[in-house]
Structure 1
Amino acid sequence: MKLKLSAPSKTLLKSNIQITGSKSETNRSLLLQALFPSIGIENLSNSDDAQVMQKGLKIDKGVVDIHHAGTAMRFLTSFFACQEGKEITLTGSQRMTERPVKVLVEALRSLGADIEYGQNEGYPPLHIKGKKITKNKVSLPANISSQYISSLLLTAPSLENGLELDLVGKITSVPYIKMTLALLSQIGIQNEFEGNTIKVWPKTDVANISLVVESDWSSASYFYSIVALSDVGSSITLSAYKEDSLQGDSVLATIYRQLGVETTFSNNSIEIKKTGESKTDNLMVDLADAPDIAQTISVTCFGLGIGCHLTGLHTLKIKETDRLEALNTELSKLGAPISVTDKDLTLKTSESIKSDVAIDTYNDHRMAMAFAPLALKTDLVVNDAGVVSKSYPDFWNDLRQLQFEVSQVD
């Protein structure tokens, strides 16, 4: 599906939008529910990733195809490895077979797991025979994707002796690790995070409890961008959000204040409002704890005509696409003076934006949604726009609710 995007006729925006549950929280909660069926879940994400996670958890034998869902690949690897009697082949899209999983597989093997590679060493597909795991100490590099770490931590309470995880080096994406541990605490699982060591105690059952999934902050980022690029006075109210969020991407509220956008929390909602012009002409942010909002922020800065220097982006190389190179290519098409390395992005100040550019999305939902707000500045075409279903199936309809012109083209 190819879509053409144009700005609303009135760029003073006012709207209320409901966003479904966080993909990150949903998939963590689903895995815990599979281990402890007494858990209920409210406000589940309606994303593709959550749906393949739900389906995968119900399979005991055969092939589990998680398509593009990297979170599901990492989480299900540990889950199936520790489920005695289950025997599956865990696979996904062509891009998924190019995304490394060796660090997690080797950690699980050191605990006694039975996992073999189906094609290339270090990459999916994986042949997994579930076993009873009794060893309880393992180490991982601290600068890897937090999903590897969370994968082990989520499965840990089901292990006979729990788990002691030693992280070697400087830890990346701490908020996502804390999200996992907070969910464990909510269901009564004892855990401890001191220095670079995390301990999770074993538990055979938990009391009846309902987990309420907060709406997705990554999805909120696109509306922060829209408000930043719109007229002063524009506001969008999003629900349902918590001021004490578990999600690392909630740092958006602080970052976008520098771009003239204020956030007000009220009744499990946030109002994001354009209150003035950007307070900087060169935004400097370390996104090591929230790399998923790098695409949104860099596009916002380009639309505002300001520069930015974003660091801590080393995990973007192994996402749905190489997001740094994808940003370099697509922003360059629009005339942006941009440069990237394997871990950061630099955008120089520029006041001109090329029009009628077609944005390629590289099977990456965030590429489609991050660039969409630029329709406030120039007409755009978004190729393979249906890719948004991975995390936010309602995105294009919600843009129409804001009076954007969104039309399908041949």
Structure 2
Amino acid sequence: MIEISALQSPLKNQLAITGSKSESNRLLLLNKLFNQVLTLENVSNSEDSQLMQKALANETDLIDIHHAGTAMRFLTAYFSIQEGRTITITGSARMKQRPIKVLVDALNQLGAEITYAENEGFPPLKIVGKKITTNSITIPSNISSQYITALSLIGTKLENGLTITLDGKIISVPYIQMTIELLNRVGIKAIFEENTITIPFTENIQSEKLQVESDWSSASYYYSLIALSKESEITISTYFENSLQGDSALQNIYAEHFGVISTFKDGSLTLKNNPAFSLENRIELDLINTPDIAQTIAATCVGLKAKCLLTGLETLKIKETDRLVALKNELEKFGAIITITDDSLSIDGYNAYTTVPKLETYNDHRMAMCMAPLAQIYSIRINNEMVVEKSYPTFWEDWTKLGFEIKAI
């Protein structure tokens, strides 16, 4: 457990943030599919991306991806088309509780051979690589966009291409668009129109150098920190105004609802307070396209003692933990009065509290990082703080640079 306290205000510093985990993992798999012809710069140093790279280089018959959910989904699809190779892919105890049946069903319908090594519908999986010739599939689109991305990426190497029909409400659309745009960027003419994705078979792509943009989900913690500070300014790199990442919606959300101004210059993003901003009575946001920043926004509201209604959160229940339950448990330690449903979280008021909050992370990197900005207002304690290595290994080092005191308890 660590205790975090703010030492200075206002804050002013510059930080370099690691590359986007979402972009990195897509490009790592794409590069493997096309014989490593891409040179990737600013690849995420997250544990998830490191595990992805190790798994792609692993030549044994057992792959352990620990807590890396993205890697589990992408690699399940990848190994299903590796003809002549049989592997078992497994993970942590929590990974064995995270459903994957929708993706496995879709791959098996295409002609893959995937079976469950333990419990039906969950990892670990035994995968016998096959040549897949079926060129169309319908998949529920209200579960996880990562299933859709996994199919889209391997569709590039199916000899008849792949047409994916999305059935139902499409969630996390920006993540699907990111996949399509990255494919387009390397010359693959993928199309996403209405509820249909068309992926052409592509034999080769051109050798080129690609820079991975830094992670906007990681940027969210600095938006929150500025919102909870006064007269502060933090510059982070490498970020671009025309980002592929859905979480770049932070710019508008935090400008409108929390008074944080975003300014871009030469690949850097500067965040500072809007002195004319005033907080509204109740913040209402639909986060169906940006669920990964919901925890940060909820914690920001608590730091400001703001009321809010956050909707579109149905995918939070199947993440590293049930994030809705975890948020309710931990934010109530600050006196927040919270109600959750299967797809929403509301904060309806605040009670007084006196003790230093001891916050649990539930083995969820975002639970640790979303709470950290609250140290600008309160002295807080966080258990199992190194869970941040999953996506942002230098997180606490960067917060020390910002002037926070972090000590072991």
Distance 2:327 2:116 in 1: 32
Q: What are the residue-to-residue correspondences of 1:169-184 with 2, within 5 Å?
A: 169-184=168-183
Unaligned runs of 5+ in 1: none
Are residue 243 (structure 1) and residue 241 (structure 2) matched? Answer: yes
Q: What are the residue-to-residue correspondences of 1:305-344 with 2, within 5 Å?
A: 305-344=305-344
Report the Cα offset of residue 351 of structure 1. 7.6
The number of aligned residues is 406
Indicate conservation of the 8 Å contact 1:339/1:347, yes or no. yes
Tell me the SS of whatever aligns to 2:219.
Answer: helix
Give the aligned residue type for 2:140. P
Distance 1:41 1:118 in 2: 35
Report the Cα offset of residue 355 of structure 1. 3.9
- C-alpha change, 1:261 and 1:357, in structure 2 (3 Å) is same
Indicate conservation of the 8 Å contact 2:333/2:353, yes or no. no
Distance 2:218 2:355 in 1: 25
Tell me the SS of whatever aligns to 1:338.
Answer: strand
Q: Which moved more, 1:281-290 or 1:269-278?
A: 269-278
Distance 1:40 1:327 in 2: 39
Report the Cα offset of residue 166 of structure 1. 0.1
Give the aligned residue type for 1:239. S
Give the aligned residue type for 2:386. G
Tell me the SS of whatever aligns to 1:273.
Answer: strand
Residue 76 of structure 2 corresponds to 77
Residue 208 of structure 1 corresponds to 207
Distance 1:163 1:143 in 2: 20
Tell me the SS of whatever aligns to 2:308.
Answer: strand
Residue 104 of structure 1 corresponds to 103
Distance 1:142 1:27 in 2: 21
Indicate conservation of the 8 Å contact 1:355/1:380, yes or no. no
Tell me the SS of whatever aligns to 2:156.
Answer: helix
Indicate conservation of the 8 Å contact 2:302/2:334, yes or no. no
Q: Could you say what the CA RMSD is over the residues aligned between the two structures, in angstroms?
A: 1.0
Give the aligned residue type for 1:170. K
Tell me the SS of whatever aligns to 2:336.
Answer: coil
Tell me the SS of whatever aligns to 2:102.
Answer: helix
Report the Cα offset of residue 353 of structure 1. 5.5
Distance 1:240 1:45 in 2: 12
Percent of aligned pairs with the same residue?
53
Report the Cα offset of residue 77 of structure 1. 0.4
Q: What are the residue-to-residue correspondences of 1:245-264 with 2, within 5 Å?
A: 245-257=243-255, 258-264=257-263
Distance 1:248 1:362 in 2: 25
Residue 11 of structure 2 corresponds to 13
Indicate conservation of the 8 Å contact 1:242/1:268, yes or no. yes
Indicate conservation of the 8 Å contact 1:281/1:349, yes or no. no
Residue 296 of structure 1 corresponds to 296
- C-alpha change, 1:160 and 1:236, in structure 2 (3 Å) is same
Distance 1:281 1:89 in 2: 52
Q: Which moved more, 1:196-205 or 1:349-358?
A: 349-358
Q: What are the residue-to-residue correspondences of 1:112-261 with 2, within 5 Å?
A: 112-231=111-230, 233-257=231-255, 258-261=257-260
Give the aligned residue type for 1:58. A
User: Residues 264-283 of structure 1: CA distance to partner in whole angstroms, max 9, x if unpaired?
Assistant: 11111111101134441211
Indicate conservation of the 8 Å contact 2:142/2:169, yes or no. yes
- C-alpha change, 1:274 and 1:354, in structure 2 (3 Å) is farther
Distance 1:145 1:375 in 2: 33
Give the aligned residue type for 2:326. A
TM-score by length of 1: 0.97
Distance 1:387 1:352 in 2: 30
Distance 1:292 1:335 in 2: 24
Give the aligned residue type for 2:232. S
